[in-house]
C-alpha cells in the first residue's frame, strides 16, 4: 500500500540523511521509478524532502544529513499523517511507523498529527456508484476534524435545504464518494459531501466521544445502509460477458448464484425497492432476464411500455 511506503521512505531518510532513488528502491524492495514517485509525492504534500543534483547528490530532509524531523511544520505533519493515516488502521507496519514518527515530531505537533492520522478512512468497496472528482470541501473538513472545530453546514437533500452546526468526527472516502460522520443534536449523522452546499468552520470547539473509533463506526454505518439497500432482491440470469460489468456497477449488491444449463449465470440483485432494481436493469434489454419477483418484472414491463409509447414514432 502506498501510504506505508511513504512513511517508510521518510524513516529511511531520517536514518540515513540522504539517499538516491536507487538506494531507496533497494531498501524497500520496489522499483526505482516507484521510489522516485514516492519521494516526489512527499515533496508535493509539503514534507521538506528535496533532491540534490550531481555527484554525491540524492534526496534529503531539510535540516542536515541526520534529523529528528523537527524541521516539519504543523501543516507538513498534517499532510504526512493524512496521507498515511487511513492505511494505519489496517496495516500493522504503518501503525508502528506512525508511532515512531510521532515520537520524532516536536511535542507541540504531536496531538494534531495523531488527530490527522485518525481523520480519514478509505473504503474501496463499491456501492454501484463511483465519483472521479474529489469534493472541494474535503480539505476544509479535514482541518475541522483535526483541529476539533464545529462546522456550520448547508445541506441539500431532495428538495429540502437545511442549515445546522455539527461536530465533525471523521471523513470517509468510499471509492471516490465522500462522507462526513458528525455529531448533531440528534446524535450521530452521516452527510454526503456532494450534498453539502457550504461548510463554514467556526471558532467553537467540537466534541467527540472519547471512545469514538472511525473505522468501527463506519462499519456500523455501512451495515445500516446495506440493510436498507437490500430490502428487495431479484433473481436474474445474465450472459457471461455481462457479469463483470454488472458486478462492477452493482458492487456488493450483485451476488453470484451459479451457472444454469444454457451457459448464463444466475445472480441476485438487491436494492431498496422493486422499481429501483428495474430502473438499474432496464437499460440492458434482452441481455438479461429477471426470473423473480413478479414486482420487478412488472416494473420492467411498465418501463418498456413507457419507452415504446414515448419513442414509437
Instruction: Write the CATH number for 299.
Output: 3.30.70
In order along its 313 residues, the chain shows pLDDT tens digits of 456 677 778 777 776 778 888 888 888 888 888 888 888 877 766 677 778 776 767 888 765 434 445 555 555 555 555 555 544 444 555 555 555 565 555 555 555 555 655 666 666 666 555 556 778 888 888 888 888 899 999 999 878 899 999 999 988 888 778 899 999 998 999 999 989 999 999 999 999 998 888 888 888 888 887 777 777 899 999 998 998 898 888 877 888 988 999 989 999 998 888 999 999 999 998 889 999 999 999 999 999 999 988 888 6
Nearest to 12 by CA among 46, 44, 38: 38
Question: 294 lies in a domain?
Answer: yes
Query: What order do you get walking across the sheet with 232-238 strand by strand?
Result: 254-259, 265-271, 232-238, 288-292
- Look up the CATH number of the domain holding residue 22: 1.10.10
How confident is the model at residue 146, as a pLDDT? 80
Q: Is 113 in the same domain as 6?
A: yes
Q: Which structural domain range is residue 87 located in?
A: 2-118
DSSP 22-43: HHHHHHHT--HHHHHHHHHHHH
pTM of the full structure: 0.53
Q: Is 149 in the same domain as 135?
A: yes
Q: Is 18 in the same domain as 97?
A: yes
Question: 221 lies in a domain?
Answer: no
How confident is the model at residue 67, as a pLDDT? 40
How confident is the model at residue 64, as a pLDDT? 44
How confident is the model at residue 65, as a pLDDT? 34
* Nearest-5° Cα angle at 34, 29 to 38: 105
How confident is the model at residue 184, as a pLDDT? 93
Q: Is 148 in the same domain as 238?
A: no
C-alpha to C-alpha distance for 196 and 105, rounded to whole angstroms: 35
Question: 224 lies in a domain?
Answer: no
What does DSSP assign to residue 282?
G
Q: Is 205 in the same domain as 245?
A: no
Residue 221: Cβ within 10 Å count: 17
Q: Is 109 in the same domain as 153?
A: no
Cis peptide before 129 (omega within 30 of 0): no
Residue 215: Cβ within 10 Å count: 15
Question: 225 lies in a domain?
Answer: no
Last residue of a domain, one of 92, 118, 144: 118
Question: 186 lies in a domain?
Answer: yes
Domain count, the chain: 3
Instruction: Determine how β-strand 187-192 pairs with β-strand 254-259.
Output: unpaired
Question: 194 lies in a domain?
Answer: yes
How confident is the model at residue 305, as a pLDDT? 92
Last residue of a domain, one of 165, 186, 213: 213
Question: 155 lies in a domain?
Answer: yes
Q: Is 292 in the same domain as 203?
A: no
Q: Is 145 in the same domain as 189?
A: yes
Amino acid at each position: 500500500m502506498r501510504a506505508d511506503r511513504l512513511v517508510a521512505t521518510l524513516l529511511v531518510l531520517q536514518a540515513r540523511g540522504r539517499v538516491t532513488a536507487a538506494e531507496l528502491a533497494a531498501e524497500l524492495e520496489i522499483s526505482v521509478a516507484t521510489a522516485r514517485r514516492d519521494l516526489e509525492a512527499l515533496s508535493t504534500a509539503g514534507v521538506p524532502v528535496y533532491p540534490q543534483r550531481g555527484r554525491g547528490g540524492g534526496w534529503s530532509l531539510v535540516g542536515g544529513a541526520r534529523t529528528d524531523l523537527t524541521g516539519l511544520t504543523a501543516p507538513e505533519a498534517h499532510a504526512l499523517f493524512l496521507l498515511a493515516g487511513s492505511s494505519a488502521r489496517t496495516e500493522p507496519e504503518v501503525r508502528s511507523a506512525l508511532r515512531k514518527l510521532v515520537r520524532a515530531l516536536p511535542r507541540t505537533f504531536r496531538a494534531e498529527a495523531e488527530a490527522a492520522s485518525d481523520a480519514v478512512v478509505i473504503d474501496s468497496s463499491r456501492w454501484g456508484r463511483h465519483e472521479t472528482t474529489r469534493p472541494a470541501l474535503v480539505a476544509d473538513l479535514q482541518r475541522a476534524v483535526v483541529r476539533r472545530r464545529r462546522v456550520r453546514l448547508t445541506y441539500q437533500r431532495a428538495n429540502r435545504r437545511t442549515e445546522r452546526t455539527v461536530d465533525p468526527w471523521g471523513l470517509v472516502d468510499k471509492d471516490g464518494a465522500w462522507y462526513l460522520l458528525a455529531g448533531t443534536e440528534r446524535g450521530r449523522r452521516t452527510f454526503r459531501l456532494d450534498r453539502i452546499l457550504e461548510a463554514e468552520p467556526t471558532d467553537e470547539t467540537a466534541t467527540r466521544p472519547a471512545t469514538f473509533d472511525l473505522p468501527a463506526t463506519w462499519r456500523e454505518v455501512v451495515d445500516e445502509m446495506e440493510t436498507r439497500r437490500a430490502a428487495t432482491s431479484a433473481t436474474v440470469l445474465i450472459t457471461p460477458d455481462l457479469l463483470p460489468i454488472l458486478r462492477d456497477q452493482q458492487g456488493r449488491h450483485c451476488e453470484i448464484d451459479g451457472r444454469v444449463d444454457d451457459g448464463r449465470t444466475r445472480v441476485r440483485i438487491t436494492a431498496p425497492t422493486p422499481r429501483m432494481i428495474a430502473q438499474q436493469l432496464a437499460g440492458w434489454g434482452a441481455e438479461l432476464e429477471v426470473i423473480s419477483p413478479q414486482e420487478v418484472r412488472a416494473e420492467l414491463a411498465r418501463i418498456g411500455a413507457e419507452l415504446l409509447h414515448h419513442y414509437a414514432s
